[in-house]
Amino acid sequence: MKASAFVYPWDVNGDPDAPGWIARLGVEQVTLAAAYHSTRALTPRHPRHRIVTAEHAAVLYPPDGRWAGRPLRPHPAGDWAPGDAWGEAAAAPAGAGLEVHTWVVLAHNSRLGAEHPDTSVVNAYGDRYPWAPCIAQPATRAYLTGLAAEAAVRPGARGTELESLGWYGLAQLHAHDKTAGVGLGDVGQYLMSLCFCPACRAGYGEEGLDADEPASAVRAALEPLWRGAILEPLWRGAARDGGWSGVEKLLGETRANATRAWRDRVARSLQQEAVAAVRAAAPDGFQVLLHADPVSYHCGANAGVDPAHILSVADGVVVPCTGGAGLLTPFAQQRRAGAVLAAHLTVVAGLGGRPAALAADAARARDLGATELRLYHAGLASDADLEAVREAPAGR
C-alpha cells in the first residue's frame, strides 16, 4: 500500500539529511503541515534544535491578499516557521522523488478564540471553548473555507489532507489540561461539546426546539454526573448503553435527535463548501482527503462525518486506526470505486504507537478496506521507532 509520513516544516528545514531519512522509511509521500495549531514538538534528529514551540495557530507560508480587510484571517508563524517555511520544506522531499501533500488544520485555533471570543463554541453553562471555533457561524465558515483553499493548494502540492473540518468540542487538549477528574464517557463528551452560541440556539429552533430549552436540558442531564452518576439509575443506563442511545436516554429521543440534526447539517454543508473551494483553487488531479470519524456526532481532529456523504464529496478519508482498524468498516461498506481509505497509524511509541507492529497493523487495516497508510509522525519519532518502520516488510 502507498504510505505517507506526516512531518512539520521545522523537521526538514535546516536539516540536509531529512530527505534521506524520510525516503528510507519506504514511503512514497510526505504529508507536510501548511496550517497548524499551537504545539510543542520534539525534534530528536535536527542539527539545530530539539524543542520547537509553535506559540499560536498559524499558516506556515505567507498568506495572500484575500484576507485584506477581513477581521478573521490567518496569522503567519513566528520564528518557529518563518517566511515560506512550507515551500522550503516541500522542496527537499520533492527533490528526493517523494510526492508532497499539504496537511491543513481548520477548526482548531485558540488564537482565533482569544482574539474573537464570539467565534467560539459555548457550552450549556456559558463557558467558551477558545480552541474550538463554532462552525455554524457564517463569518467563521467563510474564514475556514478560505483557509482551506489557500493552505491546501500550495505550489507543488499534489493533494491535501483536511483535519478538523467539522465540530470541535471539549475533548481536544488545550494547554495543560485538568479536565479528567470526572469520567465523561462518550455521552458526557457529546453533552459538554454541544454549542449554544446565538447561531446554534437559532439552529436548534429550526429543528423545532425552544431556543433556551436544550441548554437547560443538558445541564439537568449532566448534574448527576457531577455528583457521582453511579447513584443515578438513568445515568447508569446511559453509560451501559453508551453511544447515541445513551444520549437519547438522557436528553429524550426527540430533543437529542434535533440537536444532532442541526449539527450534522452544519458539518455536512461546511465539508461540501470547503472541499469545493479547494477544488476550485486546485489544478486537475489534485487529491482532497478528510481526517474523519464515521460517527457523525463525534467531535475533534477526525471530524464526525456521514460515510456515504463524505465519499461523495471528497476523494477519500484518513481514519484513525492505531487502537484498531474498525472505524474503516463503515467507509469500506460504501464500496466507492477509487476512494482512498487511508489508515492512520501512530508509529511513535512514546505517543502510544506500535512501530514494531506496523506490518501486522497495516495488514489488519488492509483486510478491513484500507488502500493507503499514513504514518504519524516521522518528525516526532525516535531513531528506534523509525528503524522499526524501516524494517517492516515491503508493502506492509
Would you place residue 224 in the very low, low, confident or very high pLDDT band (cuts 50, 70, 90)?
Answer: confident
Predicted confidence (pLDDT) per residue in 52-90, tens digit: 999 999 999 999 999 999 999 999 999 999 999 999 999
Please classify residue 219 by burial: count the beta carbons closer than 10 Å to its beta carbon, then call 0-12 exposed, 13-18 middle and 19+ buried: middle
Predicted confidence (pLDDT) per residue in 341-352, tens digit: 999 999 999 999
Q: Please say whether the beta carbons of 273 and 145 come within 8 A.
A: yes
Lowest mean pLDDT of 84-88, 239-243, 375-379, name the range. 239-243
Q: What pLDDT shows up at residue 211?
A: 74
Q: Please say whether the beta carbons of 244 and 186 come within 8 A.
A: no
C-alpha cell at 201: 440556539
What residue spans define the domains of the chain? 315-396
Q: How far apart are the first and last CA of the chain?
A: 7
Q: Please say whether the beta carbons of 318 and 291 come within 8 A.
A: yes
Match 456523504 to its residue by C-alpha cell.
309
* Distance of alpha carbon 302 from alpha carbon 320, whole angstroms: 8
Q: What pLDDT shows up at residue 313?
A: 98
Q: Please say whether the beta carbons of 129 and 123 come within 8 A.
A: yes
* Distance of alpha carbon 198 from alpha carbon 99, whole angstroms: 43
Q: What Rg do the C-alpha atoms of the chain give, in angstroms?
A: 21
Predicted confidence (pLDDT) per residue in 138-176, tens digit: 999 999 999 999 999 999 999 999 999 999 999 866 665
C-alpha 210, offset from chain centre: 32
Residue 250 has pLDDT above 70, yes or no: yes
Residue 236 has pLDDT above 80, yes or no: no
Predicted confidence (pLDDT) per residue in 283-317, tens digit: 999 999 999 999 999 999 999 999 999 999 999 99
Residue 394 has pLDDT above 60, yes or no: no
* Distance of alpha carbon 201 from alpha carbon 117, whole angstroms: 17
Would you place residue 281 in the very low, low, confident or very high pLDDT band (cuts 50, 70, 90)?
Answer: very high
Q: What pLDDT shows up at residue 72?
A: 98
Residue closest to 24 by CA, chosen among 86, 93, 100: 93
